[in-house]
Amino acid sequence: MLANTLTVGGVTLTRIKEGDYSSEYRKVTATEEYRLIIRHSNAKPTPEGLARDRHNIELVITTFPTATAPQEVSKAYWVAEQNANNTSIWTSQSLLGFMTASDNAILTAVHGWDS
């Protein structure tokens, strides 16, 4: 089990819910709400009948509305799915490393609609 607090982007979130193979972490400030949800589930088996595991992490940041700006909701999530007997993290590690390499150049480009 992960810790009761996790730090994401310099913000420390506290676990507010756990169970059913998931946890939810949250922090609310005067101007924002940060919510991190970690879920695990069984995906549809392969045509050969092999069991599949699915892991998901979702981060939602809500900036509350002000007199001059509307509410803003930003969401990012990661999903990994593989055969249940495969414990390798190589695919996820490679993808996340690629996305954040070179001072986040790939993420910046994708947010600019590059593909």
The string of pLDDT tens digits covering residues 25-51 is 999 999 999 999 999 999 888 889 999
Range of the domain at 33: 5-84
Same domain, 80 and 95: no
Same domain, 111 and 55: no
Among candidate residues 55, 62, 109, the one with its CA nearest the CA of residue 78: 55
State how many domains the chain has: 2
Same domain, 70 and 14: yes
Q: Give pLDDT tens digits for 55-89.
A: 999 999 999 999 999 999 999 999 999 999 999 99
- Chain-centroid distance of CA 62 in Å reads 15
Same domain, 95 and 80: no
pTM metric for this prediction = 0.89
Same domain, 78 and 111: no
- Asked whether the predicted pLDDT for residue 102 surpasses 90, the reply is no
Same domain, 33 and 59: yes
Identify how many contiguous H helices and E strands the chain contains and give both numbers: 1, 6
Same domain, 24 and 72: yes
Which pLDDT score is estimated for 46? 87
